[in-house]
């Protein structure tokens, strides 16, 4: 789920919360904008579930650029990654 939490100053982070004993656990932050290992302000990362535990996030170097990449999706067969990128978009600053 994408969200913001009051004590977190990031734009929009990804959190996980488990439903245990008929209530949700405290949300755990999985990723964020402007990570230290980011090449842009928003990159795509991958994590692998190995025996019920998630690996550390790894940046997907083949797609991340200095532009913002986001909204990754796998095709139904799971063989292709589709994502949004702001490559080539001009930024206009209004004074």
pLDDT tens digit sequence for 77-91 = 999 999 999 988 766
- pLDDT for 93: 65
DSSP H or E run through 31: strand 28-31
- pLDDT for 95: 59
Which sequence spans correspond to the domains of the chain? 1-32, 35-95
Note the pTM of the prediction, 2 decimals.
0.66
- pLDDT for 14: 76
Query: Contact, 53 vs 67, CB < 8 A?
Result: no
Angle CA 74–75–77, to nearest 5: 110
Query: Contact, 10 vs 30, CB < 8 A?
Result: no
Tell me the C-alpha distance between 55 and 82, whole Å.
22
Q: Which parts of the chain sit beneath pLDDT 50? A: 1
């Amino acid at each position: 789920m994408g969200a913001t939490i009051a004590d977190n100053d990031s734009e929009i982070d990804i959190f996980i919360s488990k439903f245990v004993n008929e209530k949700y656990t405290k949300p755990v932050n999985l990723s964020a904008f402007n990570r230290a290992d980011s090449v842009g302000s928003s990159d795509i990362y991958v994590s692998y579930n190995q025996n019920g535990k998630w690996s550390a996030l790894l940046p997907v170097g083949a797609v991340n650029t200095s532009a913002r990449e986001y909204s990754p999706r796998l095709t139904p067969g799971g063989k292709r990654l589709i994502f949004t990128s702001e490559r080539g978009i001009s930024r206009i600053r209004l004074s």
